Structure 1
Amino acid sequence: MPYVTAGHPDPVRSVALLQGLESVGADVIEVGVPFSDPLADGAVIQASSQRALDLGVRFDDVLRIISDARLSVPVVLFSYLNPLLRGGDDALRRAADAGAHGVLVT
């Protein structure tokens, strides 16, 4: 299952990257929500998260990226708890509406 930090290298290319992964046969894609304190992640994901945050990518932008990709394969949203809580009471519903089929929370 491939992993992509949403918003890295930028939001437009994130959409293209997700579509490309699907086109080469990914059967599930994990999409990471950038977070400012990703202690459980390694250096590569920390750097990609920081790059996305530097570009202003936030939770709703991640949902927009997923929605814009219009994937036919399942998408699993990977997030720390904090961004989901900041997303509000309807964050999970909005994620599902955007095309997320599941959520992994650290």
Structure 2
Amino acid sequence: QNHDDRGMIWPASIAPFSVVIVALGLNKSQAVRVASENLYAALREAGIDAIFDDRDLRPGVMFADWELIGVPWRVTIGDRGLAKGEVELTARRGLQTESLSPEDVIALLKQRLA
């Protein structure tokens, strides 16, 4: 089944993007902006098809949009997580979330998208 009550759930092989980076408070935090841009560049360099959501909207709106579209993975970057050296990785299927370092996110996504 490739959908649920929130929207589509695309297999990574046919999804418009494999990963979306959602930056929380992007226009208020230089740390969030830099971390988001760095992770985006690192994902692209690793050959992972990513998109960076830099819209100035509430987190719930951005999450709902990407869940509706069905991008398989979401990375959420915010000041609170960055203070601990972490970002959140969420799988679209089941919406399981784990907190990891940006480097671990790249390694895990390379493994799961291979």
TM-score for the superposition, normalised by structure 1: 0.32
Structure (1/2) with the larger strand percentage: 2
**Higher Rg:** 2
TM-score for the superposition, normalised by structure 2: 0.30
Structure (1/2) with the larger helix percentage: 1
